[in-house]
Structure 1
């Protein structure tokens, strides 16, 4: 199985511009990418990065400056066999959660994100193509039906949590600090959690909602 991790190397995470400077957004996005790559490897797969510009990571990198949909569709069209697509901002991804996705044997397996997006998928049907505009989860279910592919929905809090907004940072601080140990019993290294902690972010909230503040 080919595992593709799309990555916006130019001006990443623009919706965090009220919280982080451009340089900080780039650094934090790189930390999340490293967490995703580590989780893919922990699930027994070798990831490759599909980036909009060259990036320095310990994985093969394909540079494609096109928007997400045509870039991913080119990867699907150019591959014989199953292709997994895992977004680079799944800061809480674990090998166990990804293994559940990779092992799904439907023609298309989908991980819905909050708000109707698609955070990860596995395409085994050769006719399936993506469309990441709008409510892509519903679009991908429709596309799968149109090409005659069976569909599995993988329900995973860790894979459903993508980090785009300020409130998403709280999820990283809550769950990144309590990751289960690795298979060898060692503590899980969560670079995105460590980045936020070092940058002075901490949890704060009232009785109804938890958010983040920065020291």
Structure 2
């Protein structure tokens, strides 16, 4: 948060959430942040905010791996990207849609060999009702699970179209 504030204050450029051609606002914002980071650090870690099962040990492992690697990518269970450790501006950001494949393709264009870090706890992001069920099953001790419980969210096994049935009290 402080670094992002410093970026805005240092550059004196307001950021707009407008779509430029095919570039989505997140990718544009990340590119702007990377320009600032390139002057300050050798590598950056990008973590979306909707990874409810991630813990300190997951992040520490990524950082430890990054000591010897220039590109680490964590896929989401839906084909997206749930973490990147890269040198600033080493690839174009391709978040949105099936970004995992797009980021791998960007790395290959630059002759980079990314380490694919598969992690159950980092693969889950929050996009569907079933994802909430996964949090209820596997999110012991997380603030997200506590919050979902406070909303009356319940989960049960279901054999049919979806694997889990997620309901809310009073529905």
Structure 1, residues 137-156: CA drift from partner, whole Å, max 9, x if none? 11111111222323111110
SS of equivalent to 2:139: helix
Do 1:50 and 1:64's aligned partners in 2 also have CA atoms closer than 8 Å?
Answer: no
1:140 aligns with 2:107: no
> Which portions of structure 1, spanning 4 or more consecutive aligned residues, are displaced by more than 3 angstroms?
47-51
**Alignment counterpart, residue 213 of structure 1, candidates 161, 167, 170:** 167
Distance 1:132 1:199 in 2: 30
Unaligned runs of 5+ in 2: 6-13, 18-24
Do 1:203 and 1:211's aligned partners in 2 also have CA atoms closer than 8 Å?
Answer: yes
Do 2:76 and 2:123's aligned partners in 1 also have CA atoms closer than 8 Å?
Answer: yes
1:117 aligns with 2:80: yes
In structure 2, relative to structure 1, the CA distance for the partners of 1:115 and 1:48 (3 Å cut) is farther
Do 1:82 and 1:125's aligned partners in 2 also have CA atoms closer than 8 Å?
Answer: yes
Unaligned runs of 5+ in 1: 1-46, 52-62, 178-187
Distance 2:101 2:114 in 1: 12
In structure 2, relative to structure 1, the CA distance for the partners of 1:207 and 1:119 (3 Å cut) is same
Do 1:108 and 1:125's aligned partners in 2 also have CA atoms closer than 8 Å?
Answer: no
In structure 2, relative to structure 1, the CA distance for the partners of 1:201 and 1:155 (3 Å cut) is same
TM-score (norm 1): 0.62
Counting matched residue pairs gives 147
Distance 1:124 1:102 in 2: 13
Structure 1, residues 94-122: CA drift from partner, whole Å, max 9, x if none? 11112222222322110001221101110
Q: Which residue of 2 aligns with 1:100?
A: 61
Q: Which residue of 2 aligns with 1:91?
A: 52
**Alignment counterpart, residue 90 of structure 2, candidates 98, 119, 127:** 127
Q: Per residue, is there more strand in 1 or in 2?
A: 1
SS of equivalent to 2:82: strand
Structure 1, residues 146-194: CA drift from partner, whole Å, max 9, x if none? 22323111110111000111110001101112xxxxxxxxxx4x21111
In structure 2, relative to structure 1, the CA distance for the partners of 1:94 and 1:49 (3 Å cut) is farther
Cα RMSD of the aligned pairs, angstroms, is 2.3
Q: Which has the larger Rg? A: 2
In structure 2, relative to structure 1, the CA distance for the partners of 1:65 and 1:157 (3 Å cut) is farther
Do 2:44 and 2:88's aligned partners in 1 also have CA atoms closer than 8 Å?
Answer: no
